[in-house]
Chain A
Amino acid sequence: MTLSTTDTTWYPVASSTDLPLRHVFHGQLLGRELAIWRADDGNVNVWENRCLHRGVRLSIGINEGGELKCQYHGWRYANRSAGCTYIPAHPADAPARRITNTTYPAVEAFGLVWSANNGAAEFAPFDGSASAEWLALRPMPINATTEDVLKALEGYAVTAEKGILGVATVTERLPGLAVKVTVELKEGHRSIVFFVQPVDSNRCVVRGLLDHTFPDINAQLRSHNEGLVQLRDRLERLAEKKPIPEPLTPSFEKVSVELSTMPEITIGSALTLRAMVKRKWATATGITAFELTALDGNHLPTFQPGAHIDVHLPNGLSRQYSITNGPGELLSYTIGVKRDLASKGGSEVLIDTVREGDVLAISEPRNNFPLRRDTIRTVLIAGGIGITPILSMARFLAKSNLPYELHYIVRSEDQIAFRDQIDALGANVTLHIGLPRAAIAETITKTLGAHSFAQHVYICGPGSLLETVRTTAADLGWPDEAVHYEYFRNDRVIDDSSAFEVELARSAMTLHIPSGKTVLEVMREAGLQVSSSCEQGACGTCLTGVMEGTPDHQDVYLNASEKRANNCMMTCVSRSLTPRLVLDI
Chain B
Amino acid sequence: MTTPSPIDAVTRDLWQVIAAVDETPVGVVSTTLLLDQRLAFSRDSDGSPVVWLRTTEEHGDEIDLATVTVRLPVISGYGYIWTSFGNPPDHLFPIPEYAEPDRVNMSCGSIGVGSSAPRIVENFLDMGHFPYVHTDILGAEPHTEVKEYDVEVSEERDEVLATRCRFFQPRAALSATEGIEVEYIYRVPHPFCSVLYKSCPEDVTRQDVIAIFLQPMTAETTRAHLLQSMIDSTSTITDLRRFQQTIFGQDKPILENQYPKRLPLDPRAETPIRADKSAIAYRRWLSQKGITYGTIPMAS
Residues on A lying within 8 angstroms of B by beta carbon are 33, 49-50, 52-57, 60, 71-74, 87-92, 99, 252, 254-257, 259-263, 373-376, 402, 453-454
Contact = CB atoms under 8 A, between A and B. Distances in A.
Given A50-B259, A52-B271, 19 more contacts: A53-B271, A55-B264, A56-B257, A60-B257, A72-B132, A74-B131, A74-B132, A88-B132, A88-B141, A259-B271, A263-B272, A263-B273, A263-B274, A374-B143, A374-B144, A374-B145, A375-B142, A402-B142, A454-B143
B270 A89 contact: no
Given A73-B129, A88-B128, A99 B271 contact: yes
Contact of B146 (A54, A89, A255, A262): A89
Interface in B257-283: 257-260, 264, 266-275, 277, 280
A381 B228 CA distance: 49
A500 B179 CA distance: 49
Given A71-B132, A89-B146, A260 B272 contact: yes
Interface string B170-185: 0000000011000000
Contacts of A260: 267-272
B211 interface: no
B145 A90 contact: yes
Nearest to A403: B142
What interface size band does chain B fall in? 20 to 34
A87 B141 contact: no
Contact of A89 (B122, B259, B275): B275
Contacts of A57: 257-259
B164 to A, nearest CB: 16
A459 to B, nearest CB: 20
Contacts of B162: none
Contact of A88 (B144, B179, B274): B144
Contacts of B269: 252, 254-255, 260
B258 A55 contact: yes
Q: Which of B133, B143, B179, B259 has the most CB of A within 10 A?
A: B259
Contacts of A375: 142
Contacts of A99: 271
Nearest to A86: B144
Contact of A262 (B264, B266, B272): B272
Given A263-B274, A374-B143, A257 B268 contact: yes
Interface string B131-153: 11100000001111110000000
A87 B131 contact: no
A323 B71 CA distance: 70
B267 A74 contact: no
B254 interface: yes
Contact of B128 (A52, A89, A259): A89
A100 to B, nearest CB: 10
Given A88-B131, A376-B142, A53 B273 contact: yes
Which of B131, B273, B274 neighbours the largest number of chain A CB atoms within 10 Å of its CB?
Answer: B273
Contacts of A262: 272, 274, 277, 280
Contacts of A454: 142-143
Contacts of B280: 262
Contacts of B146: 89-90
A55 B272 CA distance: 11
A256 B122 CA distance: 22
B160 to A, nearest CB: 15
Nearest to A257: B268
A380 to B, nearest CB: 16
The winner among A54, A88, A454 for most chain B CB atoms within 10 A is: A54
Contact of A53 (B260, B267, B270): B270
9 contacts: A54-B270, A55-B259, A60-B253, A252-B269, A254-B268, A257-B268, A263-B272, A375-B142, A454-B142
Contacts of A49: 259
A88 B275 CA distance: 10
A53 B122 CA distance: 13
A92 B145 CA distance: 9
Nearest first, the 9 closest Cβ-Cβ pairs linking A and B are: A88-B144, A89-B275, A254-B268, A89-B128, A89-B146, A260-B268, A260-B267, A57-B257, A374-B142
A568 B277 CA distance: 24
Contacts of A90: 145-146, 273-275
Interface string B242-253: 000000000001
A392 to B, nearest CB: 19
